[in-house]
Structure 1
Amino acid sequence: MREKMNTKSVFVKTIKGILYFLEALIVIVLGVASVLLSNSVRWMFETWSYLTMDEVVYLLNSPMEGTSKEIILEYVEYCVPAAVLTLLLIFILIIVLRKRKWIYHTVMAGILVCSIALAGYYVNMTWVRLDIANYSENKSTYSTFIDDNYVNADDVMIRFPGKKRNLIYIFLESMEITYADVENGGAFEISYIPELTKIAQENEDFSGSETVLNGGYSMPQTTWTVAAMFAQSAGLPLSIPLENNEMNTQDSFFYGTNALGDILQREGYSQTLLIGSDATFGGRRLLFSGHGDFTIHDYNYAAEEGLIPEGYRVWWGYEDKRLFEFAKRELRTLSRQEEPFNLTILTVDTHKEDGYVCVDCENQYGDDQYANVVACSSRKVSEFIEWVQRQDFYENTTIVIAGDHPTMDSDFCNEVPLDYTRKVYTAFINSAVQPEKPELYRDYTTFDHFPTTLASLGAQIEGNRLGLGTNLFSGELTLSERYQRERMAAELNRKSKFMEDLTSYINTELPEARLLLREFDAAAGILPLVITDIKNVDQKIMGMNVAVWTLPGQEDLQWMQAAQNPEGDYTMDINIASFGYRKENYRIDVYAILEDGSSQFLTGISMEIE
């Protein structure tokens, strides 16, 4: 009998012990999670004041590779200490109160209630600030806005003058009118772009009789570089069933549309794209080669032609200081041709995070590196424009300067008021025409750059509309003036049968794999690589080849073969020693060898070897 009672007592104690443990575990998990969640939300909105749900989805789908180490450290410093202190405090309370049952359970219940309330408050804040309900509704609702308002260039008459004007189109990375001072329409006490401000005020930014700057508003699906370039040249959002910069995986770039390059090509223009990075990234090469047959002069071209020193690479390729010197070189050549030319340029020094400081950048703003880089860019663009204006060909040349999208720098615009409307910088220089209503301050988007650029070359456009854009030199209302910007943005955030039909050719089931890099063995010069999670390969894989290189033009390219292990993954050791232990940016691309003998690209990665 006593043995049964002892057994029952032990059982009861065991059950109580398990319940105590589960109670403590739940309190610890919820308590720490709620503090971490609340601090994460606060950090997120303090770091990105203008964050939208579209950007959150983009960030969640983006790889960690390339994320600023400073941002990661800032997050850890902001969020982790409070979570650790919460964990220690709960442990202390559990230890101190565990023998005082009534007080213990009361305190644990109190912590649970507070944790749920804290988490609920910040979840609700996130729900409201990001307008998740409206976002979800938009993503599940179809709109006919694009169908009803899109104008195909094939359906209207476009007449060019007998003597065609040259075009220089400069995309300025992340350049906003926000960077000007308040007096001139910016959002800062001092102007970081005085030279660009002067250029816009002395030329055309469609600010009418106002003295403040005006610029194009970036609509949804136009807020990264290749999307911005597509919006300004084709008048459409880059609404695709892929991650933002995956258009380079396709065989064509919206082949069913007519863009600025297509129209100029038909008019006999010689067209060149000049950029200091690899044009393949994001589909930029595909966009410009497929819409206007542009000659692409990018970082790889500069390396192959010996325009930059062997092995030279900074930031994303080469800096804007070199870019503008190469642009002068291009223009000297293009201006000697009989046919009109279109030179399209993309700067990069003002890209996130904090930009690239070249040797010409002055330390005007101390530790605020991005301010220094923005100011340097303003001076460089101004110097380049002044050089062009001194050339003989300038008389018959129109220059368009346009920011591609609002900045993605994490903190530069933190102090900008939430009710300030951020627009990209815009200036039309030496246009062939003047606004029909010169006193009118226009409300416009970057879609309007498409027909406006053609009009600035002297082209007459039937109806003054192309794509979703309106010729700003005309008296025709823009779509943002007709429908209001907020409604237009809401409509573009919804599904579109028009865009689905236009992108129906896009292959979303792309071959892919995941690369796992193990710890680098510096003594042996070996970097272990695992190729796993191989998907969407429609033939039997007969082997796996890995291409590794560090130098421009793949001058030191080495091919290596991976071996399949029993689990089905592929493994190999990359011999860094064979590259002379160079502290370079190593590019690793993986190709599957298929049953029919062809090879198929799976994935690639870039990494620095320390």
Structure 2
Amino acid sequence: MRREEDWISERRGGETELPGWFWRLIFLPGYIRRLLLLLSLFLSSLLYFSLRWLLSNWSELSVEEILYHLKAPMQGASSGLLRSYLLFALLPSLLLLLLFLLFFRRCRNFFLFYFVRRILFLFPLLFLLLSIRDSWQGIGLRDFLVSQFTHSDFIDRNYVDPRSVELRFPEKKRNLIYIYMESTEMSFSDEAHGGAFPMNCIPELTELAEENEDFSGGDGKLNGAYSMPGSTWTMGAIFAMSSGLPLKISIDKNAMDSQKSFFPGVQTLGDILKEEGYEQSFLLGSVGYFGGRRLYFQSHGDYAVKDYSYWKRQGKFRPDYWVNWGFEDEKLYSYAKEELSRLSRDGRPFNLTLLTVDTHFPDGYVCRLCRREFGKNQYANVFACASRQLADFVNWAKAQPWYENTTIVVTGDHPTMDHDFCKDVPKSYVRRVYTAYINAPIAPARRERREYSSFDDFPTTLASLGVEIEGERLGLGTNLYSDQPTLMEKFGRDYEREELKKRSELMLRLGQIDKAAAFESRAAKDKEEREKERREKERKKKEKRESRRESGASQAGGGGEKEGE
């Protein structure tokens, strides 16, 4: 029988010589080929089961969101979410791999073994094709691929740089309390109030919007902001509402955590208020660096970021305390009251920004304040609880001496990603985030229902502080208190959405992305975090040893005194 090496040598000597690596691949030892096939089987099945898990948990999912969270620092993520992924995505892939491994070991003497070995390479291909099929429409893969090769000048033509606009603040500057409510939509109200549900999950929020301003024109049905592409997850929404721009960058979205600054070419709400002498704080019940939030707020406005780690250092709860994404909103509102009391004593105008977390999918977090108004529908119960807590906080603020000169903005950050909770919402229903402007010193020039997006919150927030805006536009946003049309009203929601999916040269320039830093090893970041934890543990051990030493010395001293007596 001819040796494989002789056959390769003969083939190489022919007129149609193929690269050497090709023949080396063909004639790899059998066990290496099987190992590569099993590895490709595992990875392709993991891709498929991961996609099925995403589609079964997230609604309105997009490729941008997936890329964003794939690159996100996972420290600080919900443990329940991670357990769900391990159970429904990673475990099936491992079981499938184990099944084939057992097959190879146990069935070597059967004809079936040789048949399966010949067609094994088809399984990875099958999983890959199924993944493409599910993602083509399920997460908009087709639109995403098209958008990556299609440029649009929509942002370039319609962006208004705040630096080019005259902003006139009132002589006595108003304070601002800005509350981002996780995954909160106006849709969660009942149909009679413009919601999509038969019951009202957010009655207190509904009343707040009706008594204040949501730009519904007083027609009795709630109104809210539409989340455009680039603003459908928390960091994207925060960026959109405070800069008037979608979070579109040339690297995977959460790699922003690797940058030294966050869109340094953009002037945001925080930058403007800082220039006007505002003292600014950002409070949240999760870890600040998740998603690049700490970087953003410190880069734009020099906010004091007070997150889970900050409050733990203050001794507000046990060092090992952790629920949901950090700590519950009940604590957040309590700490916010303390912070507001401090800020109000400093004599400077202040901006306190909060980010809640109890209503994060899946199903939210049931705290001790939650009731069972909606039986076993946990997410509805959690939203009802969040509605009461927010209303209680606003009522507390109304009783404070500084309230008269303070505007409160309450907005959902993005539509919920919980698939089951919204499964009965008709496809024709346009889901919008909750919006309410409270105690603003201005009334809308147009008493009619407005069509607006998250970008419009940027100039509208400044207007709610009594700021006069030249031209009534900032970023891609329009001041909703003015009579100027929003981009949605001017171009239509569908057209604007499609244009924003495409690449923008202006966004690339404004981002000033350091791509080398973006690919910095995550292992290095993890190592740095582990080193911090190690130093913290050593510090605590040292403090305990010193405490014991002092205690022992004190007892020894006391014993000596007694002997002397």
Query: Would the TM-score normalized by the shorter structure come out above 0.5?
Result: yes
Partner of 1:571: none
RMSD of the TM alignment (CA)? 4.3
Partner of 2:317: 308
| 1:255 equivalent in alignment to 2:236 | no
Distance 2:179 2:488 in 1: 24
Letter in 1 for 2:533: W
**How many residues align structurally?**
507
Task: Return 470-479 or 386-395, whichever deviates more.
Answer: 386-395
Cα pair 2:397 2:403 within 8 Å, conserved: yes
Question: Which of the numbers 463, 468, 478 marks the counterpart of 1:470?
Answer: 478
Partner of 1:143: 152
Query: CA offset at residue 152 of structure 1?
Result: 1.1
Cα pair 2:204 2:391 within 8 Å, conserved: yes
Distance 2:440 2:423 in 1: 36
Cα pair 1:31 1:87 within 8 Å, conserved: no
Letter in 1 for 2:346: Q
Cα 1:78–1:313 change in 2 (3 A) is closer
Partner of 1:73: 87
Partner of 2:489: 481
Distance 1:41 1:467 in 2: 35
Deviations 1:349-369 (CA, angstroms, capped at 9, x unpaired): 222333222221223334433
Cα 1:193–1:557 change in 2 (3 A) is farther
Q: Per chain length, whose mean CA-contact separation is higher, i.e. which structure has more relative contact order (CA < 8 Å, sep 6+)? A: 2
SS at 1:278 equivalent: coil
Query: CA offset at residue 507 of structure 1?
Result: 3.8
Distance 1:545 1:447 in 2: 35
SS at 2:200 equivalent: coil
| 1:320 equivalent in alignment to 2:329 | yes
Partner of 1:444: 452
Query: CA offset at residue 455 of structure 1?
Result: 0.5
| 1:296 equivalent in alignment to 2:296 | no
Partner of 2:64: 54
Query: CA offset at residue 513 of structure 1?
Result: 3.9
Distance 2:94 2:320 in 1: 40
TM-score (norm 1): 0.71
Question: Which of the numbers 361, 372, 382 marks the counterpart of 1:352?
Answer: 361
SS at 2:402 equivalent: helix
Question: Which of the numbers 158, 181, 194 marks the counterpart of 1:185?
Answer: 194
| 1:265 equivalent in alignment to 2:274 | yes
Distance 2:49 2:298 in 1: 46
| 1:556 equivalent in alignment to 2:537 | yes
Cα pair 1:241 1:508 within 8 Å, conserved: no
Question: Which of the numbers 447, 450, 463 marks the counterpart of 1:455?
Answer: 463
Question: Which of the numbers 400, 403, 411 marks the counterpart of 1:402?
Answer: 411
Letter in 1 for 2:531: A
Query: CA offset at residue 124 of structure 1?
Result: 4.7
Cα pair 1:49 1:418 within 8 Å, conserved: no
Partner of 1:426: 435
Cα 1:485–1:547 change in 2 (3 A) is same
Letter in 1 for 2:414: H
Query: CA offset at residue 403 of structure 1?
Result: 1.0
Query: CA offset at residue 51 of structure 1?
Result: 2.6
Deviations 1:267-293 (CA, angstroms, capped at 9, x unpaired): 222222222233233222222222222
Unaligned residue ranges in structure 2 (runs of 5+): 1-33, 103-108, 545-565
Partner of 2:504: 496
Distance 1:33 1:246 in 2: 23
Query: CA offset at residue 423 of structure 1?
Result: 1.3
Deviations 1:378-432 (CA, angstroms, capped at 9, x unpaired): 1100000011111222111110001111223353223322222221111000111
TM-score (norm 2): 0.76
Partner of 2:208: 199
Distance 2:48 2:254 in 1: 31
Deviations 1:410-458 (CA, angstroms, capped at 9, x unpaired): 53223322222221111000111101011x1111111111100010111
Task: Return 53-62 or 313-322, whichever deviates more.
Answer: 53-62
Structure number having the greater helix percentage? 2
Structure number having the greater strand percentage? 1
Query: CA offset at residue 309 of structure 1?
Result: 4.0
SS at 1:142 equivalent: coil
Cα pair 2:50 2:85 within 8 Å, conserved: no
SS at 1:357 equivalent: coil
Partner of 1:377: 386
Query: CA offset at residue 222 of structure 1?
Result: 1.5
Moved over 6 A (4+): 28-43, 76-88, 95-98, 115-122, 531-534
Partner of 1:563: none
Deviations 1:34-73 (CA, angstroms, capped at 9, x unpaired): 9999998776545444233333444555688854323443
